[in-house]
Structure 1
Amino acid sequence: MNHLYRCQPLTRVVSDSDSVRRQNRALVLSTLRRQGPLARTNLAAETGLSHASITAIGQDMLAQGILAEMRDEPDPARLRGRPAVRVGFNRTAGCVALVELEVNRAQFSLVDYGGTLIDRFELAVAPDEFKRTTPAEFLVRHLTLFRERNRREMKALLYIAVSVQGILDRDGRHLRWSPIVHMADRPFADDIAQAFGVPVSLHKRGRLLAEGSRWLDPKLQDASVATVFVGSTVAMGLTFRGDAVGRGNGGATEFGHMIHLPGGALCRCGARGCIEAYAADYAVLRTAYSVPETAPPAASVPASQYEGLIARAEAGDRATLHAFNLAGRAIGYGLSRVISLVDATHVRILGPGARAYHLMRAEIETALSASLVGRVAGLPEVVAQVDEKEAVFRGLMMKILQQLDEEHFAFLPHAAATA
């Protein structure tokens, strides 16, 4: 019995030591991910780790090919000393394939471990695309094109991540519902994983909008932010003091499908009265042309047609102005409910609807001012951000690279043990 009691603390010490090592490695990687390449002295200051710990961790990860040294160019103004040496990510440690799948477009990007874009292509997605072919066949075909175009880089493929629109099932492997026609209830993640031999994950576009906006604007890093995409759908991503919140682990709400007016306009989801049924591009088009609100939504609205609606409203067309007023009112009252539950201090309007924000702004602010929180605490800062594509891409890229940092590279055994 005494022998057993003597062994248990030793086992626990070893386990605790491994845990601390992994935590410290993850801390170093997350700091470099946030700050970019740093000199070892600066890295110690940013992480709070000792110089000895930074030296040991740095040597280990340099030997494993996770990090690389980056020597600055000599400064002619400096008469003495060697050029500063910083450590950063080794770009050749691996790469990830990122897919952004939307109602009418798909974008495929290949990114190395350092976050540098290697290759990218974009293509239109027809309304009947997934009636003619399965989602798995579509994605495998185009990811195979990546492999043919980037044979050397794809040998180091570590992960495939897909951004999707809709509601994911609880295990996050397929869509239960999606505005992308014929996408729902057709699992494809496992088929792609089998075809390429790497993990595959699906991510809600709404959350990625919020995550990406925080990476693009440093002042939002620790803020409570609501990002509202207005276009073919209406979607929201939400972060509370820097942490994603929302339905399940997806970190995104079903904002567009909150009921605005019970029994109201027909939504693409089949329900009546959703925010989206008043604020999405098809809703504005329907109202502007005095089509009954119970008429089935258009399958898609070309960007040029939506721009034409904005131009008509700016020229003073009453019906189109009314359509954008209704859109702003629906978004505003939806936001007033959100800020009553979550203290969102910043709101970003993204997507094609950002171009029409000036046409919706008065109704949005009136609706926000009607809530108790809006009257007492003041309105959140609302800013239109026209290009949502970069926010989605950045959110997806940083999420996956951070996941690799935490779940793969931080857990690698000591370099000496693998030598």
Structure 2
Amino acid sequence: MAQGVADTEMIRRQNRLLVLDALRRHGPLSRSQVAALTGLSNATLTAIAADLVGDGIVTEHAEPQSGTKARGRPAVQLVHNRNAGFVLLIELDVNRCRMSLLDYGGVLIDRVESGVGPTLFSEIAPAAWFIERIGQMIARNTEIGATLHGVSISVQGILDASGHGLTWSPIAHLGGHDIVTAIHGRLGLTARLFKRGRLMADGMRWLDPGLTGAGIATIYIGSTIGMGLILPTDANPDAGHATEFGHMIHIPGGALCRCGARGCVEAYAADYAILRAAYSVPEHAAPASAVPPADFQHIIARAHQGDRSAQRAFTMAGNAIGHGIGRLISIVEIDRLIFLGPNTAAYEHMEAGIVEGAAASLMGRMRGLPPIQRVPDAGEPIYRGLMMKTLTEIDKAFADRTSLPAARRSAE
């Protein structure tokens, strides 16, 4: 009997998650639409919907009528209850920090953006800085009260084994600190760290459902070089992997990278590397801590005008990226290659080098490059990936009833 009860409860949790997932992917839906998407029977869906509405997780509203002659009773749609709680997203990179407060429906409530300097985390401990900023956001939005379900932080670098901090980051002095435990200890909030490269790949799948089931590689080219990877075997649309593509060795003992190693792909392809090569600075010279966008645009303009030093710098950058891609497609099958970030503005000057570098490998010569897409603004895929990972985790907790909206908890 106990086993039967356990099985029934497991099925109930799975069905709750099916409904929440359908609403998360497709927005407000009628019961018949949810049934068609999930395969649940009408009777089962009616019971699950009543359950979710009763728990304050889902709410009902009338479907908007199209046209002026619409008649009859409007269909009732199910939608995530925006009042079920809030989440805080923090996007941190080498130049800036953006904090976004969202409700459970994914609607943006508040946003604060600030610059990040190279000495910031030498002046204040990273955990203390995050705690201070989170506290400021809570103080700005007193209505969220105890309904903040967690904090998700996108970072650049290599996460430690616990996932609570970073062992290394291009953001100076960020590594070596337990950020997650400190936030929970001081504020009582669950925090999670995510690598930016992984979020790019996840976000592109959410933004383009046509990529579902495809093998995609997203390559960020800007102040750093990063890659997100989703393999064709990753059936879960929000599955993804972060790789250290930028820190694969391109030329052993070669140009100095920000990570301290020599010969990394990034040491030839990031903005500081292109700047170094364009001005004939020795490749062992220390990388610039930051490259102003205007300076990089000036190098692009020089390349447009036929300046050979600038053109050579971009060709070298493309060649390093191309060699990395050649290694990648020798190991896994990629259906779409997506370049993201500000340096995509110089893609035409890197393209020949990318093609040549990829063709240096056997599979690069045999297969050629996968179809290529360029997305100049990497911010939206990163934000979408972070948002959907965070909200789907809350969906799972609500489906399992390991967490419930504050109003429902107080009623119980």
Q: TM-score, normalised by structure 1?
A: 0.93
Is contact 2:201-2:240 (8 Å) kept? no
Taking the TM superposition and a 5 Å limit, the aligned residue runs for 1:370-381 are 370-381=360-371
Is contact 2:118-2:289 (8 Å) kept? yes
2:320: which partner in 1? 330
Q: Tell me the distance in 2 between the aligned counterparts of 1:250 and 1:191.
A: 27
2:205: which partner in 1? 214
Number of matched residues? 405
Is contact 2:88-2:148 (8 Å) kept? yes
* Per-residue Cα deviation, 1:193-212 (whole angstroms, up to 9, x for no partner): 22221211101010001111
Taking the TM superposition and a 5 Å limit, the aligned residue runs for 1:243-322 are 243=234, 251-322=241-312
Gaps of 5+ in 1: 1-9
Amino acid of the structure 1 residue aligned with 2:185: Q
1:140 paired to 2:134: no
1:197 paired to 2:188: yes
> Which one of the candidate residues 397, 407, 410 is aligned to 2:399?
410
* Per-residue Cα deviation, 1:21-73 (whole angstroms, up to 9, x for no partner): 11111111111111111100010010011111111000000011100112123
Cα offset, 1:368, TM superposition: 2.6
1:339 paired to 2:324: no
Q: Tell me the distance in 2 between the aligned counterparts of 1:400 and 1:272.
A: 36
Cα offset, 1:250, TM superposition: 7.5
Is contact 2:230-2:241 (8 Å) kept? yes
> Which one of the candidate residues 131, 152, 175 is aligned to 2:122?
131
2:169: which partner in 1? 178
Is contact 2:226-2:246 (8 Å) kept? yes
2:63: which partner in 1? 72
Cα offset, 1:358, TM superposition: 1.3
> Which one of the candidate residues 342, 356, 359 is aligned to 1:352?
342
Question: Which shows bigger deviation, 102-111 or 250-259?
Answer: 250-259
2:17: which partner in 1? 26
Q: CA RMSD in A?
A: 2.0
Is contact 1:221-1:242 (8 Å) kept? no
Is contact 1:238-1:244 (8 Å) kept? no
1:393: which partner in 2? 383
CA 1:244 to 1:122, structure 2 compared with 1: closer, same or farther past 3 Å?
A: farther
SS of match in other structure, 1:229: strand
Is contact 1:179-1:269 (8 Å) kept? yes
Q: Tell me the distance in 1 between the aligned counterparts of 2:398 and 2:349.
A: 48
1:159: which partner in 2? 150
Amino acid of the structure 1 residue aligned with 2:399: A
Is contact 2:213-2:235 (8 Å) kept? no
1:35: which partner in 2? 26
* Per-residue Cα deviation, 1:337-376 (whole angstroms, up to 9, x for no partner): 1111111111111111111111111221232334333343
> Which one of the candidate residues 94, 100, 105 is aligned to 1:109?
100
Is contact 2:230-2:240 (8 Å) kept? no
Cα offset, 1:269, TM superposition: 0.6
Question: Which shows bigger deviation, 12-21 or 358-367?
Answer: 358-367
Is contact 2:225-2:246 (8 Å) kept? yes
Amino acid of the structure 1 residue aligned with 2:24: R
* Per-residue Cα deviation, 1:368-402 (whole angstroms, up to 9, x for no partner): 33433334334211111100011111100000111
Is contact 2:89-2:101 (8 Å) kept? yes
CA 1:309 to 1:242, structure 2 compared with 1: closer, same or farther past 3 Å?
A: farther
SS of match in other structure, 2:150: strand
Is contact 1:74-1:82 (8 Å) kept? no
Question: Which shows bigger deviation, 215-224 or 53-62?
Answer: 215-224
* Per-residue Cα deviation, 1:276-332 (whole angstroms, up to 9, x for no partner): 000001100000010000111111111221112111111111101100000000011
Cα offset, 1:155, TM superposition: 3.2
Q: Tell me the distance in 1 between the aligned counterparts of 2:364 and 2:251.
A: 21
Is contact 1:36-1:88 (8 Å) kept? yes
1:384 paired to 2:377: no
Q: TM-score, normalised by structure 2?
A: 0.94
1:95 paired to 2:95: no
Question: Which shows bigger deviation, 348-357 or 319-328?
Answer: 348-357
CA 1:154 to 1:354, structure 2 compared with 1: closer, same or farther past 3 Å?
A: farther
SS of match in other structure, 2:283: coil
Q: Tell me the distance in 2 between the aligned counterparts of 1:157 and 1:399.
A: 16
SS of match in other structure, 1:243: coil
CA 1:392 to 1:326, structure 2 compared with 1: closer, same or farther past 3 Å?
A: same
Q: Tell me the distance in 1 between the aligned counterparts of 2:145 and 2:157.
A: 29
SS of match in other structure, 1:176: strand
Cα offset, 1:244, TM superposition: 9.1
Q: Tell me the distance in 1 between the aligned counterparts of 2:235 and 2:279.
A: 39
Is contact 2:202-2:240 (8 Å) kept? no
Question: Which shows bigger deviation, 79-88 or 180-189?
Answer: 79-88
Q: Tell me the distance in 1 between the aligned counterparts of 2:165 and 2:110.
A: 26
Cα offset, 1:189, TM superposition: 1.3
Amino acid of the structure 2 residue aligned with 1:269: C
Is contact 2:168-2:176 (8 Å) kept? yes
Gaps of 5+ in 2: none
